[in-house]
Amino acid sequence: MTEKQGLYDPAYEHDACGMGFVAHIHGVRSRDVVDKSLELLRNLSHRSAVAADACTGDGAGILLQVPHAFLRRVCGPLGISLPDAGSYGVGTLFLPSRRADRLICERMVEAAVAGEGCSVLGWRDVPVDDSVLSGPTRRARPAMRQIFVAQMGVGQMGVGREVDTSSSFEISLYVIRRRIEAALREIPGSDCYVASFSSRTLVYKGMLRPDQLARFYEDLRDPDLASAIALVHSRFSTNTFPSWRLAHPYRFLCHNGEINTLRGNLSWMRVREAIMSSARFGGRLAALLPVCGENQSDSASLDNALELLTLAGRPLAHAMAMLIPEAWEGHTTMSPERRAFYEYHASLMEPWDGPAAVAFTDGRQVAAVLDRNGLRPARYVVTSDDLVVLASEAGAVAIPVENVRAKGRLEPGKMLVVNTTQGRILDDEALKTELASVRPYGRWVAEQRINLAELVAKNGANELQLRDERDARGQLQVARSETEHDDRTLSLQLLQRAFGYTADELKMVLGPMADAGEEPAGSMGNDTPLAVLSRRPQLLSSYFRQLFAQVTNPAIDPIREQLVMSLAINLGPQSNLLDETAEHAKQLRIAQPVLTEQAMSAVRGVTDPTLRAVTLPALFPIASGIDALELAVDDLCRAATRAIADGCGILILSDRGISADQAPIPSPLAVAAVHHHLIREGLRWRVSLIAETGEAREVSHLALLVAYGASAVHPYLALETVAAMARPEATGDKPHGAAAQERYVKALGKGLLKIMSKMGISTLQSYCGAQLWEAVGLSTALVDRHFAGTPSRVGGIGMELIAHETLRRHSDAFDTASITTRLDPGGEYQYRVQGEHHNWNPMTIAKLQHATRSDSYSTFKEFSQLANDETRRQSTLRGLLDFVERDPVPLDEVEPASAITRRFCTGAMSFGSLGKEAHETLAIAMNRLGGRSNSGEGGEDPARFGTDRNSAIKQVASARFGVTAEYLVNAAELQIKIAQGAKPGEGGQLPGHKVDAVIARTRHSMPGVTLISPPPHHDIYSIEDLAQLIYDLKAISPAAAISVKLVAEAGVGTVAAGVAKARADLILISGDSGGTGASPLSSIMRAGSPWELGLAETQQTLVINGLRGRVRLQTDGQLKTGRDVVVAALLGADEFGFATAPLIVEGCVMMRKCHLNTCPVGIATQDPELRARFTGQPEHVVNYFFFIAEEVRELMARLGFRTMDEMIGRTDMLRALPSSDNAKAATLDLSALLHLATPASRARTDSVARRHVRLRVDHSEEDGGLNGRLVELAQPALERGERVKETLPITNSDRAVGATLSGEIARRYGDTGLPEETISFRFTGSAGQSFGAFAARGLSLELEGEANDYVGKGLSGGRLIVRHPRSAQFIPDQTVLIGNTVLYGATSGEAYFAGVAGERFGVRNSGAIAVVEGVGDHGCEYMTGGTVVVLGRTGRNFGAGMSGGIAFVLDEFGEFEHGGQCNTGMVELAHVTDRGELELLRRLVEQHARYTGSARAKRELGRWERAQRLFVAVVPTEYRKALERRADADAATAARRGLVIGEIGSARHG
Amino acid sequence: MADPKGFLTLRRAIPGRQAVEDRVRHWREFYGPVPEAAVRTQAARCMDCGVPFCQGDSGCPVRNIIPEWNGLVQRGEWREALESLQATNNFPELTGRLCPAPCESACVLGLVNEPVAIRHVEQTIADRGFAEGWVVPRPPRRNSGFKVAVVGSGPAGLAAAQQLRRAGHTVVVFEKNERVGGLLRYGIPEFKLEKSVLDLRLTQLEAEGVRFRTGIDVGEDITAQELRAEFDAVCVATGAGAARDLDVPGRPLEGVHLAMDFLTSQNRRLAGDAFTETVSDARDRRVVIIGGGDTGSDCAGTCVRQGARSVRQFELLPQPPAGRAPTTPWPLWPMQLRTSHAHEEGCDREWSVATTAFSGEDGRVQRIHAARLERQVFADGHTDYARLPGTDFELEADLVLLAMGFTGPVKSRLLVDLAVQLDGRGSIATDGAHRTSVPGVFAAGDAHRGASLIVWAIREGRDAADSIDSWLRAG
């Protein structure tokens, strides 16, 4: 592995993969199982990746039962005589290739074996074939050896006898391995790794491609190699450095996914180690710790945890159910016993949260589990010869359909266990019932657990009385004199000032939260300085930025998918993880972490001694000089230790006592310092932390406290502020204090869920301590001590300056002679001349407009002087950089401006966020310049295609608005928006009242119907999914460059490396400061990091990986001037994006009101009256970009560059400016930013540029050629409209079948396509992912067999028919047929599926018609149009976020209507009574029967009278109202029928 | 904002002026009363901009947080609005009456519609504050022990004094006239600012502990040395009283006066103080005012009220365009034709006119001689206005008022003795923090800035007070 350097840190690396297992139910070992698993692995090759050299694999591996017969045979000649199966252990070791080093390691290993009372039977060289490896891989290849170990006495006798082959020997082997690993830690740089060490399982793995695995390991080709269980895994990682150990499987598991909460899980595991004990391990426990090693992958850590829990005695499945529990908190129909099981275990451990499909085994049982969200696919088959095959994709192992006994898919949170010793398969229900009945978990919880809500209710009477008194008091005060009113205001204000509250915050943040119960939205990004560059005192929280998920795991929608979310958390000490007793449940449960005053008094009132709460003041004396804060923090930590020694279960860190002499310790510091101190002391398990603080008020403040260890927060001053603001006399009809507080707390809760879900985290318990923040501007010393593990890459301020800022606030409150009655204006959210600095201010805005409108370069220079001067006030990182001067070149030798403007783009702003005029003006200007404008995510009017108003870049975002075949083929660049700077990790919402007829048309929806953009792309939950989407887009639009938009955060570089390996042509790194039409304020201000950091990290990572030459790099985020462009180029950017500045050129005056549709200059509005005021001209925009290009040229001449290419990545031409008058800025260290990276491997870099793109890399996919063949076959239809009909075989590696042909159709005929059934293809087999993606009108694809995920993605008018083979032995309408996320973003067309679909069927469908016989969870999510008929069961959360279209569900058992399967947040349920609707239904079912031959459909048609009564119609309320508006009120239902029928008609005859 | 689109539906309205024939018969302010609801409606037109240009470089010099109090007024929270306004502006009742409102010409709504009636809202808040008794003294919580002298009691001096007192210092304001107020009291006609308004504010200052010593000409009655000895710091806010004169034949004739002498005389008369009769009376006279600015306009209004036979105003520059000139795009202060109330009241304006001489008999002026000007480009490329041959004309005039602006502070004994350095324009030179070349001596207002707006004087006074406070605390 390459070491940490510059901004690159290997710790950020991610991986994902394909995985699966093959097992014989009765444990019959065979070569066949191994063969099938290797076949499975090979057929998942497209889910793995290769490095820049196109040869080095990211990793592949296999885990088998110890193949006794084989090993005995090969060991014999080596003089190793193996005892009976099970009575010896095999270790697979990766050893140093240098013999001397290897011997050291081997002697150490042997010593460890002896130390555990075992003997070494012998060593074996694992035979390998190096010739399959690429150069770098070969050079990095370790020596592979197996060691054979027996219990003392067994081996020597050389005869087999019955020994205890059960767990005790396995534990010995575990202890040996841990001792080896511990010893290895003592040998620095030792290149030794234990892949497996067990009497039951054996691992072969390495830095290999799936097809290389068996070619490399000769053992895997041996006919005698037999196993009843085989786990396989192919890896797709973001890095490319030879690392053999990172391949899966680990000792117990292989994992497709990512543990988002890893940092917290590891911390809490460390915490619990202090109280671990187990009779099984006895005194050897110490040798097992730490449970999880540092610097290893999330999967390896999960493996460690599973291993510990299992070997300590918990059944395998039980242990996994603790680590990855299903979503039980919001599950309404779960059995009480099962709920109790989870509830009990929540006291023991927080979930390891994140996308996961895990296959795991102890060599006897083999199992698989899916995370609570079902974010990874897992399909399985049970054969009639007792094999179970489970894999990331269906069809990965060819099994004749006659042999298939049953098929299925793993559902969210569900587990499947094959017990080979008992010879049975346990499904989730059976398994969990069994687990839940082992102990009386329910009774334990009931007897031990204290519920805070109950306590508060118990105090009810007192409570009410208290409130009455308070209210009475309040009124009294109102009635009394003005002076008293003043005094009260003043004392509150004194506190507010001391904690730095501003008028801005009250007006823009707290007020709206208390009024509406939600976090407020804002617009136009953030142009204020970084906290560390601000000259105003900043809260410590402001130095932290939220991390968020991008590409490698998805964000969650906490509103629409609330059922997986939970804010509940337990307070109190923890117990021995390796045991379970009733006392383990003794904790205080709180439903959410924001505690009111009443809740706090209840917490303080808990009498149980183990849960006693102790309050520690978090204050420091102002008079004690600059060390006071540091000393006070140390004191606080010592006080925490003492309090624990005195016995308490809850520590309240409180800044309540501030006074003229005492200032508050910044609350994140107090919490994190105590948290880390107690971890270091091994005491953390004894207490939970509560922060009682006046400082926390924004959502992000709360989240930060929880992320650094607080289980709960009492934001007393914010609560008081909110109550005071709600004074009735001040605000008229607004309700009184308590109600306002309630809404405020609700808003905080929602906001917390949002921040968690951004990172893909579902439960607060897992978020607590997870530290998912990045520090920008804090010193490494401070971070290492108190925020250990947090990335902080440019250094920054330490304790002294933190204390200084706190004291500035304190003195503002306590140390002024003047009685001020106003809070500081703040000016963070709205410009205030006396407030925070903004780069866009009246002066810069006016100058830019004057310059571009009068085409005056000299005025532009005044602007850029100002903007750069502003920058030199050092409010951004680039403002701290200066150029290294060298010999200039004459200006006329520098490449012309027109060569530079080609590198400019405008930002993704949708038609919808912008008005028509503003949007098209940008497109015209950019087309004139040879640059590119961006459609944004709202689709585009087809009338613009092929004209000068066409957007060269078309965006593909999570909602897929208007993403049709025609849209896709009309782009020079297709941009996959993973995240946007203003709100990375979040979705969006265009409220119905803003969706007018034109917007509705371009977004393929209906006027008045709300349009929701989901937080994630539902076809990108991982890096291999992204690769699939890129593949799909290249398939339909081969000429378009594919770009991927990411947002800067710590670790973005490694994500970008993965994206490059996923074959993107262009990567955009957006800064955190970018504009937006609407985003929660805390996201605008506190998520993501500056582009300088993200760009530099990406450049460095790509260069180190040798990937830079393959991909163009673009950056954006408040770029304004030629200087900005030059700095970005020197840091590594090929291209540059601008959004805010061109809008200002168009006339934007930064109202920051885009989200209100009231833009007075007619830019960000659809209102025709306002749009009439638009004064922007393409010429102005052209002027602006030429001005910039000119300025770039001047700088290039000065710096001696003739071409941009020469300049890109030359960080040696930048230097940090000497520190200014800004003491905070002077603490920064930019050396990591300016690190000049070099490729880690010299191989092949001669052909690819090191610093920037030199050649257009051919990224076209090598595939089976099926897509190309379809185009060839369809020529007669394409050219002459003749009918074409063919039958072809298909396999799971044939992906996006039909997309290329659809692109051809769309290019020729647009979305109108061809007449129905002009082209018909019929396939047999298992289709790969994205079958029928973007299928165009006139194309009909029929599949007999099965299909994987993303069937009919973006369906554009075509027809899809999928059915099981006629010869199937299983019940077709109850068997899974197609995968997850089917018809995602479909805009029109028809689909008939005679079988069951996976999760998220029809997600974001806006016009397709589909019939299916069963769907998983989240069916029809975010649907805005079209019709879906489900002839069978649905999963949970059906219709979440569904704002349009209709679904009919055949509810045979009443569970849909009455079982809570449907999310009725936006939809209404009704029986189908309207005659027209019934006719429609019947016709769709008839068509389904006709196309698919569905037995189910025929059966229902045969008893239609009964069937039609069982249908439940799911109709979105808004949609119904829109329909009613559209038609006569009386004819509403007729209209509804008419619409649907009309859609069918157009699908058929269009 | 209750209605985020209020700016689209609501129209700008400002209080109507009393009919000309009525208002010229008295000296009082002449704007009609406006109902509360109407003012709230005007405030509701404010768009609460993300970047309020009214606060920007071309906007309000005292940095009033205009959107904040517009929002408060719109919701009827008048007292809160007053607090907000007073936090940035010591004398909103004065700026509400007298400010030319650069905030309004920078108002974003002005881009697409008529700007918000900011000044009127401001005045209403301030007047209501006094009427409700909300304008209360805010004495400091504790005394610093430092003593500061403020020389001059115009708006800059008063603002500095109030700020310094509130910061806990002992403040003494020196005024050479017998009443406090400087230009506010003596220069601004009563019909633009009733002096009772000023007196109310002075009551607050006195209650806060500001001490006034009137009738003392510092530098003469107290020497600079004495002043320095008694006070820890001195703030010079003596204004820019040196008027620009017109050096043409006939200037010494009786009846040719400086505008400020004329205005002062009228104010003194109304106050019942001693005044110079000959200077103050325009009754039955044919008046020519030279200078097209605000002072000229004030003279015109005064003359009309005094019963002048005719009033005519000469301006050197050509007539500006009716709308915003392209050279001054939004949000800059626009070059454009401005018509004041005085022009409604009967004052003719002549543009591009240069006065060449006065003539008369018996030492009294009877005629004014003038010529037309034209913009010319000279050989070296610079442009200037030059007399157009053959355009000479003359006009009967028996009162001529010179309202041609001010050249800077009067070179008083005080300035000489303090030995502060002056800048190129003859104003008191300071660093960025109002510190003069003499440690402990600060300057604020027109004396430092040159003749400017009242609102700038207030800003200067506040900034100087801040600077003095920091300097004193730093020891």
A-chain CB neighbours of B102 within 8 Å are: none
Q: What is the per-residue pLDDT across A938-976, written as a single tens digit (0 to 9) for each?
A: 899 999 999 999 999 999 999 999 999 999 999 999 999
Q: Minimal Cα–Cα distance from A611 to chain B, Å?
A: 46
A-chain CB neighbours of B80 within 8 Å are: 730
Give the model's pLDDT for residue A954.
97
Those residues with Cβ within 8 angstroms of residue A645's Cβ, 6 or more apart along the chain or in another chain: none
At A892, the pLDDT band (50, 70, 90 cuts) reads very high
Least confident range of A484-488, A1468-1472, B177-181, B402-406: A484-488
Decide if B109 and A1170 are in contact by the 8 Å CB cutoff.
Answer: no
* Chain B touched by A17 (CB under 8 Å): no
Q: What is the per-residue pLDDT across B293-350, written as a single tens digit (0 to 9) for each?
A: 999 999 999 999 999 999 999 999 999 999 999 999 999 999 999 989 999 999 999 9
Rounded to whole angstroms, the Cα distance separating A641 from A684 reads 9
Q: Is A17 a catalytic residue?
A: yes
Pairing of strands A1339-1347, A973-977: unpaired
For each of the domains in chain B, give its residue range(s) and CATH number, in order of start: 6-131 (1.10.1060.10), 147-241+408-474 (3.50.50.60), 245-404 (3.50.50.60)
Decide if A830 and B331 are in contact by the 8 Å CB cutoff.
Answer: no
Per-residue pLDDT at A452 exceeds 70: yes
Least confident range of A107-116, A1422-1431, B274-283: B274-283
Rg (CA), chain B: 23
* Chain A touched by B4 (CB under 8 Å): yes
Per-residue pLDDT at A164 exceeds 50: no
Pairing of strands A650-654, A1406-1412: unpaired
Written as one letter, the residue type at A942 is P
Q: What is the per-residue pLDDT across B64-90, written as a single tens digit (0 to 9) for each?
A: 999 999 999 999 999 999 999 999 999
* Chain B touched by A845 (CB under 8 Å): yes
3-state SS, one letter per residue, for A177-214: HHHHHHHHHHCCCCCCEEEEEECCEEEEEECCCHHHHH
Q: What is the per-residue pLDDT across A1041-1096, written as a single tens digit (0 to 9) for each?
A: 999 999 999 999 999 999 999 999 999 999 988 777 788 888 889 999 999 999 99
Give the model's pLDDT for residue A1250.
61
Q: What is the per-residue pLDDT across A494-516, written as a single tens digit (0 to 9) for each?
A: 999 999 999 999 999 999 999 99
* Chain A touched by B88 (CB under 8 Å): yes
Q: Minimal Cα–Cα distance from A847 to chain B, Å?
A: 10
Decide if A818 and B111 are in contact by the 8 Å CB cutoff.
Answer: no
Give the model's pLDDT for residue A1540.
47
Q: What is the per-residue pLDDT across A1494-1537, written as a single tens digit (0 to 9) for each?
A: 999 999 999 999 999 999 999 999 999 988 887 754 455 555 55
* Chain B touched by A831 (CB under 8 Å): yes
Residues in chain B: 475
As a whole-number percent, the residues of chain B with pLDDT over 70 amount to: 99
Per-residue pLDDT at A488 exceeds 70: no
Decide if A830 and B67 are in contact by the 8 Å CB cutoff.
Answer: yes
Nearest to A1258 by CA among A1063, A1437, A1079: A1063
At A874, the pLDDT band (50, 70, 90 cuts) reads confident
Q: Minimal Cα–Cα distance from B124 to chain A, Å?
A: 19
At A240, the pLDDT band (50, 70, 90 cuts) reads low
Q: Minimal Cα–Cα distance from B53 to chain A, Å?
A: 6
Q: Which of residues 411-440 of B touch A (CB under 8 A)?
A: none
Residue B63 is nearest to which of A834, A1149, A1153, comparing CB atoms? A834
The single residue of A17, A648, A1154, A1159 carrying the catalytic annotation is A17
Average pLDDT of chain B is: 94
Q: Which of residues 100-119 of B touch A (CB under 8 A)?
A: 106, 108-109, 111-113
Give the model's pLDDT for residue A246.
83
CB atoms near residue B339 (< 10 Å)? 11
DSSP B393-438: EEEE-SEEEE---EEE----HHHHHHT--B-TTSSBP--TTSB-SS
As a whole-number percent, the residues of chain A with pLDDT over 70 amount to: 92
Q: What is the per-residue pLDDT across A386-416, written as a single tens digit (0 to 9) for each?
A: 999 999 999 999 999 999 999 999 999 999 9
B-chain CB neighbours of A523 within 8 Å are: 50
Q: What is the per-residue pLDDT across B96-121, written as a single tens digit (0 to 9) for each?
A: 999 999 999 999 999 989 999 999 99
A-chain CB neighbours of B331 within 8 Å are: 842, 846
Decide if B77 and A850 are in contact by the 8 Å CB cutoff.
Answer: no
**HSE (CB half, 13 Å, CA atoms) of A589?**
21
Nearest to A1403 by CA among A644, A554, A385: A554
A-chain CB neighbours of B140 within 8 Å are: 817-819
Q: What is the per-residue pLDDT across B182-230, written as a single tens digit (0 to 9) for each?
A: 999 999 999 999 999 999 999 999 999 999 999 999 999 999 999 999 9
Measured over the CA atoms of residue A1499, residue A1504, residue A1506 and residue A1511, the dihedral's sign is positive
ipTM of the complex: 0.94
Rg (CA), chain A: 32
Q: Minimal Cα–Cα distance from B343 to chain A, Å?
A: 33
DSSP B182-246: THHHHTS-TTTS-HHHHHHHHHHHHHHT-EEEES--BTTTB-HHHHHHH-SEEEE-----EE---
Residue of B46, B51, B208 to mutate, testing the A interface (most A Cβ within 10 Å of its Cβ): B51
Residue A730 is nearest to which of B56, B59, B77, comparing CB atoms? B77
Per-residue pLDDT at A162 exceeds 50: no
As a whole-number percent, the residues of chain B with pLDDT over 90 amount to: 90
Residue B8 is nearest to which of A820, A1149, A1169, comparing CB atoms? A1169
Q: Minimal Cα–Cα distance from B337 to chain A, Å?
A: 22
Q: Which of residues 136-165 of B touch A (CB under 8 A)?
A: 138, 140-142, 144
Give the model's pLDDT for residue A166.
57
CB atoms near residue A1464 (< 10 Å)? 13
Give the model's pLDDT for residue B2.
53
Q: Minimal Cα–Cα distance from A489 to chain B, Å?
A: 12
At A156, the pLDDT band (50, 70, 90 cuts) reads very low
Q: What is the per-residue pLDDT across A1225-1280, written as a single tens digit (0 to 9) for each?
A: 999 999 999 999 888 765 444 434 567 665 455 545 555 689 999 999 999 999 99
Q: Minimal Cα–Cα distance from A854 to chain B, Å?
A: 10
Residue of B40, B112, B332 to mutate, testing the A interface (most A Cβ within 10 Å of its Cβ): B112
Least confident range of A131-140, A202-211, B332-341: A131-140
Give the model's pLDDT for residue A1219.
66
* Chain A touched by B9 (CB under 8 Å): no
Average pLDDT of chain A is: 90
Residue of B7, B10, B40, B55 to mutate, testing the A interface (most A Cβ within 10 Å of its Cβ): B55
Residue A833 is nearest to which of B4, B55, B168, comparing CB atoms? B55
A-chain CB neighbours of B57 within 8 Å are: 842-843
At A1548, the pLDDT band (50, 70, 90 cuts) reads very low
Give the model's pLDDT for residue A55.
67
Size of interface A-B (CB pairs under 8 A): 121
Read off the pLDDT of each residue in A83-101 and give the average, rounded to a whole number: 93
* Chain B touched by A524 (CB under 8 Å): yes
Give the helix/strand (H/E) hosting A920: helix A916-929
Per-residue pLDDT at A1545 exceeds 60: no
Decide if B75 and A1152 are in contact by the 8 Å CB cutoff.
Answer: no
* Chain B touched by A1153 (CB under 8 Å): yes
Cross-strand bridge partners of residue A95? A143
B-chain CB neighbours of A817 within 8 Å are: 140-142, 144, 166-168
Q: Minimal Cα–Cα distance from B141 to chain A, Å?
A: 5
* DSSP state for residue A533 in the 8-state scheme: G
Rounded to whole angstroms, the Cα distance separating A84 from B87 reads 90
pTM greater than 0.90: yes
* Chain A touched by B84 (CB under 8 Å): yes
Evaluate the omega torsion of the peptide bond into residue A290 and state whether it is cis, within 30 degrees of 0.
yes
Report how far apart, in Å, the C-alpha atoms of A905 and of each of A617, A784, B36, B76 are.
53, 40, 51, 47
Give the model's pLDDT for residue A151.
83
Highest mean pLDDT among A52-66, A649-663, B5-19: A649-663
Q: Which of residues 282-311 of B touch A (CB under 8 A)?
A: none
Give the model's pLDDT for residue A18.
87
Decide if A842 and B49 are in contact by the 8 Å CB cutoff.
Answer: no
Q: What is the largest CA-CA distance in chain B?
A: 71
* Chain B touched by A483 (CB under 8 Å): no
Rounded to whole angstroms, the Cα distance separating A799 from A705 reads 18
Those residues with Cβ within 8 angstroms of residue A743's Cβ, 6 or more apart along the chain or in another chain: A513, A514, A515, A516, A517
Per-residue pLDDT at B162 exceeds 80: yes
Residue A833 is nearest to which of B8, B56, B141, comparing CB atoms? B56
